[in-house]
């Protein structure tokens, strides 16, 4: 019975997740195609979702998301503190990579280091939490620009890959990998990065740092309500 209950919840959530940004309603045929469920099952699940206020029935066989989802989202937003989730992720990145991990936000033409966890290795970076530096030529700044709508081939590539590798861009002896943290609809929250000595960022090792970074960015994006899927897609292409 417990397994069936979990499966039913999974199926119900698959109906909710069928809706894409900007879609006000979907018909039964579309829901069946996107979930892989038969129409009779969808109708039964929608009845339960309607009782909970998570879906509403519209005319001509159309179904829409319900107002309870907005209430749940507002409750989550009011209780969610990014820093509480960031610090464990940054500490885990340091543990896995052996290098410094940090989180940056954009302020005009500057990037501000909000949170930072240092490595125990001999080379440390002279950057404090709260310190502001120019966006370019750093990798974190390039990600911030790309996901703020910057035009150009490089920005398009960063938006496609969801990461950038920066080899000695600002200081020859320092290199980094950086990835965005996103809210719903791809709205930028900030950038998470791993930074260390350039000598450790050979082609193979840099890809290894990216493999550590993308799951962390995906998890932070998920916690912010964004879509982690593109990060996993990018990871699968490495």
Contact 210, 178 (CB under 8 A): no
pLDDT in tens, 84-131: 888 899 999 999 999 999 999 888 888 888 888 988 765 556 677 778
pLDDT in tens, 123-171: 556 677 778 888 888 899 999 999 999 999 999 999 999 999 998 777 7
Domains along the chain?
Answer: 2-75 (1.10.10.10), 80-237 (3.30.450.40)
* Cα torsion 19, 23, 25, 26: sign: negative
Least Cα distance to 235 among 211, 204, 217 occurs for 211
pTM (whole model) above 0.75: no
For the chain, the farthest-separated pair of C-alpha atoms sits apart, in whole angstroms, at 67
**Inter-helix orientation angle 28-35/2-16, to 10°:** 120
The DSSP element (H or E) to which 178 belongs, if any, is strand 174-182
Provide mean pLDDT across the span 223-234. Answer: 92
The set of residues, in sequence order, having a beta carbon less than 8 Å from that of 106 and lying 6+ positions away, is 112, 135, 144, 148, 188, 190
According to the model, what pLDDT value does residue 110 have? 87
Provide mean pLDDT across the span 197-214. Answer: 88
For 238, the 3-state DSSP assignment is coil
pLDDT in tens, 51-88: 999 999 887 789 999 988 877 766 655 555 777 888 89
Q: 163-191 in b/e burial notation, b at 16+ Cβ within 10 A?
A: bbbbeebbeeebbbbbbbbbeeeeebbbb
């Amino acid at each position: 019975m417990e397994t069936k209950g979990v499966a039913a919840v999974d199926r119900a959530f698959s109906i909710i997740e069928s809706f894409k940004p900007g879609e006000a309603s979907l018909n039964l045929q579309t829901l069946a195609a996107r979930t892989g469920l038969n129409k009779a099952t969808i109708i039964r699940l929608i009845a339960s979702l309607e009782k909970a206020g998570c879906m509403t029935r519209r005319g001509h066989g159309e179904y829409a998301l319900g107002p309870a989802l907005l209430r749940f989202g507002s409750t989550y937003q009011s209780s969610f503190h990014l820093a509480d989730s960031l610090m464990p992720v940054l500490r885990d990145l340091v543990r896995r990579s052996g290098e410094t991990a940090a989180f940056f936000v954009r302020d005009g033409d500057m990037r501000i280091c909000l949170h930072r966890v240092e490595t125990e290795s001999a080379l440390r970076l002279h950057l404090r939490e709260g310190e502001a530096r120019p966006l370019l030529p750093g990798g974190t700044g390039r990600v911030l620009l790309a996901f703020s709508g910057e035009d150009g081939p490089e920005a398009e590539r960063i938006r496609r890959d969801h990461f950038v590798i920066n080899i000695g861009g600002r200081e020859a002896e320092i290199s980094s990998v950086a990835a965005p943290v996103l809210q719903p609809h791809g709205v930028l929250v900030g950038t998470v990065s791993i930074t260390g000595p350039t000598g450790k960022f050979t082609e193979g090792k840099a890809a290894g740092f990216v493999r550590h970074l993308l799951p962390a960015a995906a998890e932070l994006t998920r916690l912010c309500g964004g879509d982690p899927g593109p990060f996993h897609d990018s990871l699968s292409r490495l």
